Amino acid sequence: MTRRLLALAALAFATSASAETIAIVDARLMTMTAAGEVERGTIVIRDGRITAIGPGVAVPVGARVIDGRGGTVTPGFIQADSTLGAVEVSQVPASADRATHSAAISAGFDISLGLNPDSILLPVSRLAGITHAVTTPLYDDRGGRDLQFAGQAAVIDLAQRPDMVTRPRAAMVLEMGEGGAERAGGARGSAIVELKATLADVRHFAAHRVAYDRGEGRPQKLSRVDLEALIPVAEGRMSLIVKVDRASDIREIIALAREEKLRVIFDGAEEGWRVAADIAAAKFPVILDPLADLPHSFSELGATMENAARLHAAGVMVIIKTGSGVAHRARELRYGAGNAVAYGLPHDAAVAAITVNPARVFGVADRVGSLEAGRAADLVLWNGDPLEPLSQPQAIFVEGVEKPLTARPLELRDRYLPR
Partner 1 sequence: MGLADKLLRGGRATTLTTTLATALIFTGGGAFAAPDAAPRDAFPSTYQAAAQPPFAIVGATVLTGTGAEIADATVLVRDGSVEAVGAKLPVPEGYVEIDGRGKWVTPGIIDAHSHLGVYPSPATPSHEDGNEAVAPNTAEVWAEHSVWPQDPKFRLARAGGVTSLMILPGSANLFGGRSVTLKNVPAVTTQGMKFPHAPYGLKMACGENPKRVYGSKGRSPATRMGNVAGYRKAWIDAADYARKWDKWEKDGRAGDPPKRDLQLETLAGVLNGEILVQNHCYRADEMAVMIDVAREFGYKIRAFHHANEAFKIAPLLAKEDICVATWANSWGAKMESLDGIEETAPMIDAAGGCAIIHSDDGLLIQRLNQEAGIAMTAANHAGLSISRGEAIKWITANPAKAMGIADRVGTLEPGKMADVVLWSANPFSVYALADRVWIDGVPMWDRSDPRYQAPSDFLLGQPGQEFAR
Q: Is 328 in the site for partner 1 (CB under 8 A)?
A: yes
Segment 288 to 327, residues that bind partner 1, using CB under 8 A: 291-298, 300-306, 327
Q: Is 198 in the site for partner 1 (CB under 8 A)?
A: no
Q: Which amino acid is at 382?
A: W
Question: What is d(CA 43, CA 60) in angstroms, rounded to the nearest whole number?
Answer: 11
Question: What is d(CA 57, CA 373) in angstroms, rounded to the nearest whole number?
Answer: 12
Segment 267 to 286, residues that bind partner 1, using CB under 8 A: 271, 274
From the list 26-34, 57-65, 158-166, 332-340, the region that binds partner 1 by CB under 8 A is 332-340
- CB nearer to partner 1: pick between 190 and 297: 297
| 46 to 85: interface string for partner 1, x by CB under 8 A | ----------------------------------------
Q: Is 91 in the site for partner 1 (CB under 8 A)?
A: yes
Binding residue for partner 1, selected from 341, 353, 364, 379, defined by CB under 8 A: 341
Q: Is 92 in the site for partner 1 (CB under 8 A)?
A: yes
Q: Is 412 in the site for partner 1 (CB under 8 A)?
A: yes
Taking the complex as a whole, how short is the minimal distance between the CB of residue 83 and partner 1, in angstroms? 11
CA distance to 85, 192, 287, 333, 367, per residue, from 131 (Å): 12, 36, 18, 12, 12
Binding residue for partner 1, selected from 121, 150, 172, 359, defined by CB under 8 A: 121
Q: Is 338 in the site for partner 1 (CB under 8 A)?
A: yes
- CB nearer to partner 1: pick between 194 and 293: 293
Binding residue for partner 1, selected from 277, 389, 404, 406, defined by CB under 8 A: 389
- CB nearer to partner 1: pick between 41 and 336: 336
Binding site for partner 1 (CB under 8 A): 88-92, 121, 247, 271, 274, 291-298, 300-306, 327-329, 331-332, 335, 338-339, 341-342, 387-392, 409-410, 412-414, 416-418
